[in-house]
Amino acid sequence: MSAVTFLPNPTESQDLPGRVHLTMPGEIDFCNAADLLPLVLSEVRARGDRLEVLVLDLTETSFMDSQGIRLVNDIRHRLRPGARVRLVARTEGVVSRVLELTGLRRDVPVYDDLAEALAS
């Protein structure tokens, strides 16, 4: 059995073309981060030049270590020029704290509301 126990759940908003929402797993760490990258990039490549905003939804993620930060950075650096990453995370909890401590919040906007992230 693979270390990745989920398949990212892609959702394309009908009202907001160019936006893709991926729900991330409950934990992102050394066990699954490396396997998540090709899954997310596959969803990105499937949209080609139409992708404007990729929203990674971390609201169901209860644990994330430095490998999760690395994953987000790897994703954002592999997007085509002009495409942007947005994160959705609960304001309280480990994930929000990791995003703050690592400084990723300065580089990638973090929202507590999915609709706001998709509209950005």
pLDDT of residue 8: 58
DSSP label of 38: H
Other C-beta atoms closer than 10 Å to the C-beta of 49 total 9
Report DSSP letters for 61-112, one per residue. Answer: --EE-HHHHHHHHHHHHHSPTT-EEEEE--SSSHHHHHHHHHTHHHHS-EES
pLDDT in tens, 12-68: 544 468 898 999 999 999 999 999 999 999 989 988 888 999 999 999 999 999 999
pLDDT in tens, 56-113: 999 999 999 999 999 999 999 999 999 999 999 999 989 999 999 999 999 999 999 9
Q: Model pTM? A: 0.87
